[in-house]
Structure 1
Amino acid sequence: MLELVAATMSMIGYRDAYFLWSEPVRDRFRTLVRAATRQDPDWTAAFLGWLRGSTSMRYPALVGAAHFVAERTAGGQNGMSRQVVGSVLRNADDPGRLLGYWIGMYGPRVPKPVKRGIADAVERMAAGPPVADFDATVPAFLAARRDTKRLQPPLPLRLRDVIALTHPKARTVSTQPRWVMPGRRRLQDLGPAEWDRRTADMSLPQLLANLRRFDWAGIPFRTAMAVAERISDREEVQASGVRPMRFIAAQRAVGHRRWPLADGAGHSTAALPRIPGRTLIVIDQYDYEDVAYGLTLAHLCSTPTCTPVTASRSR
């Protein structure tokens, strides 16, 4: 089990991009999840819930849940699978991603624990604050790669297709009409008035993911100021569990300094472990993201030494 933790945490720099892992590393992760499930399913269930809720590794947590269910099903063991599936589904697009992975890995026959766990999550999210059914997007650092198509995960199912397959209680889901949008409407196609209405219901991670779309849509000034205030609010940042790299990824996506992302990144270091001893940090002084990351890292070090350099750049 400790081997599973070490293997997973060694890939945390990839965040949500599980399909950027090499095939041997992915195979090992799947094997270790199934072995841990056989050895101690309670521990494995808790680990997957922690991975989804406390780290940036959302897709690996969904993959782990799928293989948890596969191992339990193969062994003829009942119980826990439904709960594990429900525990890793937090966003409106999570159910579609999990189903897309399951079908791509195991085929179109979806076992009842997966369906019931997804239905539980849909009902839970439908009873909460309004959310939107949207198409999955490729992370900015992944989209820049030339081999993106080869590395993308299986196409996720649309939420309306998830509902048709898993049959959550219609009475619960019908109270949330905005869950199922007609056609294949995308969030980036919304106008400024619609974005203005939706920002108040968004979590901090959702705000960070949509900053570029806010710029495109031209949201009202007062709304932009409210978003900026939340991004730089120490208490909200620390309560959200968002890590510094998420802010840096958002900065790279927007390409300007309108949003106070450096402030948010600084607040987000409170939950990170401290680094003892002396640490040398080399920073490219002409790269804003590099400077922000280096200074953020310096706050975690007992005795940091920051050295600016000028990285060679091709013209």
Structure 2
Amino acid sequence: MAKFNVLRRPKTHEGGVAVKRDVKRELFLLAVANMVGEQTFYETADERDNRFAQLVRSATVADPEWTARLLGWLRNTANMRSASIVGAAEFAYARNEPGLTRQVVNSVLQRADEPGEFLSYWLTAHGRAIPKPVKRGIGDAVRRLYDERALLKWDSEARGVRMGDVLNLTHPKPVESWQGALFAHALDRRHGNVGEIPADLSVLHARDELMSWPVERRRELFTGDATAALKLAGMTWESVAGWLQGPLSAEVWTALIPTMGYMARLRNLRNFDQAGVSDEVAATVAAQLADPEQVSRSRQLPMRFLSAFRAAPSLRWAWALEQALNASLATVPSLPGRTLVLVDRSGSMFYSTVSARSDLTRADAAALFGTALALRAANADLVQFGSTARRVELRAGESVLPVVRDRFADFGGTNTIGALKQFYRRHDRVVIVTDEQHNGSSLPSSVVPKGVPVYTWNLAGYEFGHTEGRYTFGGLSDAAFGMVPLLEAGEREAWPF
């Protein structure tokens, strides 16, 4: 009997029959699902990160232009910070070509702490030899991103690579005289040589003035109009909390809210309620949260609105969060015909959260996206499955949040084939929202007749998949749902970038 020379079909981690993806498809799926440095149910953080780095290097060698477009899209459209930064570093390591490498590095650095993040990763992974294209790409980003407020927000002794280190390693030329003064001051801060703040840096002067006040005087600021003073000094809500050395009252939050960005307001709804912010102020915040233009500009993932909905103790935010979530799902298409939507509620989907800082699981994400797609579709059957399967009843005109909150449960194992056999009834397409870790002896896609599209929305990015000759997307962004009509029109590899 042959012991070694036999054909071995790939298996999922659950032992089900699987398919091996090509490099581009595997990289795309892992990239949009990958929270770098975080463990999943079936892979350690190191295993995932090493696989991701190797895939980026392989794709870069094979098709650098495609990989460059992927990384730019990943940061600027899919809003995946860590994966795009690691990807750009591995791109640069695999291909030391001046123009394209410089462009890729610059394209993924969109926040002032990210040049330091990039260098921290590079120094750990690849040592202190930094190629010139990498230095120039980081320098381009520094000139664009470094200002006084960025220095106050992101430069601290807690960071391994500080702004002064970035400047020392990359030597960017300042855009204007004030930025030259800022660079010099950042270098002085890094080396403990801070003297008088340069005259050009008015925000730092204003912050220095506030910090000089005795603690007992600081709360007096909020007896009048404190908003302008806080804004002038670049005081964020985090810095005010430390400055006051005590809890933030309703008066303090009321002064802070006009200076806060969209995400800061979204994540502090519980704090607003606990401090007793007035209904008038809350109504203003709610209107801003629900504004579709602000939702679009904020680029928040839909899961953040579900998280905020669960965290906020009062109901005065509920309608605004529901509207904001609906706006964030604007690209989910209204599919014609009959659609079967399967939502994976197996144990592995509950084990891993969408990120280390979130308490929302992949099961939450699956329920949210599956419900959104089903509610938008012309005629959809929504099913939750695990070891068994059950239909989720929907009513016309319902919103996503109440359905996700009230009608989904934990279903144990991952019997994808059983769910398909039970509920597929000559539908025009099938959408499966899952981590693909089925336990069957054949591919789930074999249950659905050839010619009927099967779209798998993979929320984990594992190496092996459960469909063959069909379509697989991944991650937490809703953007790829918009590809479904394109694929049905015949554009088989219509990458979203």
Question: What does residue 161 of structure 2 align with?
Answer: 157
- Which sections of structure 1, spanning at least 5 residues, go unmatched? 137-154
- Partner residue of 1:20? 39
Q: Report matched runs for 1:21-100 at 5 Å.
A: 22=44, 23-73=46-96, 77-100=97-120
5 Å matches for 1:170-181? 170=174, 171=177, 173=179, 174=182
Q: TM-score, normalised by structure 1?
A: 0.69
Q: Does residue 277 of the first structure (1) align with residue 339 of the second (2)?
A: yes
CA distance in structure 2 between the aligned counterparts of 1:100 and 1:223, rounded to whole angstroms: 41
Aligned to 1:166: 170
Structure 1 residues 123 and 3: CA distance shift in structure 2, 3 A: same
Deviations 1:235-269 (A, max 9, x none): 32234443312322444565665543232111111
**In structure 1, what residue type is equivalent to 2:51?**
R
Tell me how far apart the structure 2 counterparts of residues 212 and 17 of structure 1 sit (CA, whole Å): 28
> How large is the Cα RMSD of the aligned pairs?
4.3
The structure with higher relative contact order (CA 8 Å, sep 6+) is: 2
Q: How much has 1:104 moved relative to structure 2? A: 1.5
Matched, 1:188 2:238: yes
The amino acid of 1:238's aligned partner reads S
2-structure distance, mates of 1:50, 1:31: 19
Number of corresponding residues: 285
CA distance in 1, matches of 2:170, 2:94: 21
**Structure showing the higher helix proportion among its residues:** 1
Cα contact 1:12–1:56 (8 A) shared by 2: no
Distance verdict in 2 for CA 1:204–1:33, change over 3 Å: same
**Partner residue in 2 for 1:204:** 262
> 5 Å matches for 1:107-146?
107-126=127-146, 131=150, 133-134=153-154
Deviates more, 1:248-257 or 1:174-183: 174-183
Deviation at 1:85, TM superposition (A): 0.9
Question: Displacement of 1:44 after TM fit?
Answer: 1.4
Percent identity, aligned pairs only, is 35
Q: In 2 relative to 1, CA 29–281 (structure 1 residues): closer, same or farther, beyond 3 Å?
A: closer
Q: Relative to structure 1, is the Cα distance of residues 158 and 46 closer, same or farther in structure 2, using a 3 angstrom cutoff?
A: same
2:290 is aligned, of 232, 249, 273, to 232
2:28 is matched with 8
Contact 1:231/1:264 (<8 A) preserved: yes
Q: Does 2:326 match 1:266?
A: yes
Q: Distance in 1 between matches of 2:90 and 2:169?
A: 20
Q: What secondary structure is seen at the aligned counterpart in 1 of 2:305?
A: helix
Note the residue ranges of structure 2 that are not aligned, 5 or more in a row: 1-20, 183-199, 212-234, 242-247, 346-359, 383-391, 394-406, 412-497
1:278/1:304 contact within 8 Å kept: yes
8 Å contact kept, 2:262–2:289: yes
**Alpha-carbon distance between aligned partners in 2 of 1:48 and 1:112, rounded to the nearest angstrom:** 20
Deviates more, 1:156-165 or 1:31-40: 156-165
Q: How far apart are residue 88 of structure 1 and its match?
A: 0.5
